[in-house]
C-alpha cells in the first residue's frame, strides 16, 4: 500500500482532472445531456486507467533523465523509493483497467482501446526525436472527447473531432509552457522541445497562438452543436483563464509556472465541462 501511494504521488494522480472533463464533455454532447450513471462510471474508470498507465510509463521511460535533471531528481524512481518492475506492474494493471472499462462500454470502444493506449504510451519517447512532442501529448488527451462520444454512441462521428482539435492545441500550448522549465537541461542532453529549439520567448508566443486556435475551434464546435448562452459563458471564462495563465509566465520569469500549469489548466477543463454539461442537462 505504501508503494501504491508512492506511485499515485509520482504520477500526480490528482491531475487526471485535466483530461477527464473532456471525456465527459464528449459523452454529454453525444447524449445531448446526462449519459447515465453506468456509462459515466465506466468512462471515469477508463480515463483513470489510461491516464495512470500513461503517466506511470512516462516515469519509467524518463527515469534516467529524471535522475540527471535537477527539477526531477527527487522523484520516487530516481531516489530508489520505487522500483522499475513495480511501476511497470502498475502500468500493466492500469492498462488492463482501461481496456476492461472500454469493453464494458461497447464493442467499438473496446476495439479502439489498444490504439488509444499505444498513442498515450508512445508520447513518452517523442522528446527523443521530435520537437512535435507537445502536439503528440495533445493528441493523447484529444482522444478523450472522441472516446466519450464513442462510449455513448458506439460510433465515430465528425462532430466530437472539433472539440478534440481544440483539446490538442490546448494541451500542446500548456505543455510548451511547462517545457520552458527544462530549457537548459533539454539543450544539454539533446532532448527535443520547442523552447529548446526556438527559445523560450518564441515558444511562449507559439503557446499563445495554440490557445487562440483552441478558442476558435471551440467557438466553431459550439456553433455546430447549437449550444446556448450557458455554454458560451463557460467559453468566456475559459478564455479569461487562458489570458491569466499567459500573464503569469514571462521569458525572464518562470517562477510562477507551476501555478499556471497545474492549477489554472485544471480549473479551465472543469469550468468548461460544468457549463456545457449544465447547458445540455438543463436547457435542452
Please write the tens of the pLDDT for every residue from 58-108. 999 999 999 999 988 888 888 888 889 999 999 999 999 999 999 999 999
The answer to whether the pTM exceeds 0.85 is yes
Q: Are 94 and 56 in contact, with CB atoms under 8 Å apart?
A: yes
Residue 151 CB contacts under 8 Å (≥ 6 apart), including other chains: 23, 26, 27, 30, 35, 39, 42, 43, 46, 102, 105, 106, 109
- Domain of residue 45, CATH code: 1.10.357.140
Radius of gyration of the chain measured on its C-alpha atoms: 19
Overall domain count for the chain? 1
Would the pLDDT of 5 be above 90? Answer: no
Q: Are 211 and 166 in contact, with CB atoms under 8 Å apart?
A: no
Q: What is the pLDDT of residue 62?
A: 92
Range of the domain at 258: 2-282
Q: What is the pLDDT of residue 35?
A: 96
Mean pLDDT of 175-179: 93
Which percentage of the chain shows pLDDT scores above 90? 75
Would the pLDDT of 241 be above 90? Answer: yes
Amino acid at each position: 500500500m505504501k508503494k501504491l501511494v508512492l506511485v499515485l504521488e509520482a504520477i500526480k494522480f490528482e491531475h487526471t482532472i485535466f483530461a477527464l472533463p473532456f471525456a465527459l464533455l464528449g459523452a454529454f454532447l453525444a447524449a445531448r445531456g446526462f449519459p447515465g450513471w453506468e456509462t459515466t462510471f465506466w468512462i471515469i474508470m477508463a480515463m483513470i486507467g489510461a491516464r495512470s498507465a500513461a503517466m506511470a510509463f512516462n516515469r519509467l521511460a524518463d527515469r534516467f533523465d529524471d535522475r540527471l535533471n535537477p527539477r526531477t531528481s527527487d522523484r520516487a524512481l530516481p531516489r530508489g523509493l520505487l522500483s522499475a518492475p513495480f511501476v511497470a506492474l502498475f502500468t500493466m494493471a492500469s492498462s488492463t483497467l482501461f481496456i476492461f472499462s472500454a469493453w464494458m462500454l461497447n464493442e467499438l470502444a473496446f476495439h479502439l482501446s489498444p490504439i488509444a493506449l499505444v498513442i498515450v504510451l508512445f508520447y513518452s519517447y517523442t522528446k527523443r526525436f521530435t520537437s512535435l512532442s507537445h502536439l503528440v501529448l495533445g493528441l493523447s488527451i484529444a482522444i478523450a472527447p472522441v472516446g466519450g462520444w464513442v462510449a455513448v454512441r458506439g460510433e465515430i462521428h465528425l462532430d466530437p473531432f472539433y472539440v478534440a482539435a481544440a483539446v490538442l492545441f490546448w494541451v500542446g500550448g500548456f505543455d510548451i509552457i511547462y517545457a520552458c522549465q527544462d530549457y537548459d537541461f533539454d539543450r544539454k542532453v539533446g532532448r527535443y522541445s520547442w523552447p529548446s529549439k526556438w527559445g523560450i520567448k518564441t515558444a511562449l508566443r507559439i503557446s499563445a497562438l495554440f490557445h487562440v486556435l483552441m478558442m476558435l475551434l471551440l467557438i466553431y464546435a459550439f456553433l455546430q452543436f447549437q449550444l446556448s448562452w450557458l455554454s458560451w459563458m463557460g467559453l468566456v471564462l475559459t478564455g479569461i483563464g487562458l489570458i491569466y495563465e499567459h500573464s503569469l509566465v514571462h521569458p525572464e520569469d518562470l517562477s510562477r509556472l507551476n501555478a499556471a500549469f497545474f492549477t489554472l489548466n485544471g480549473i479551465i477543463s472543469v469550468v468548461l465541462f460544468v457549463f456545457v454539461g449544465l447547458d445540455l442537462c438543463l436547457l435542452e
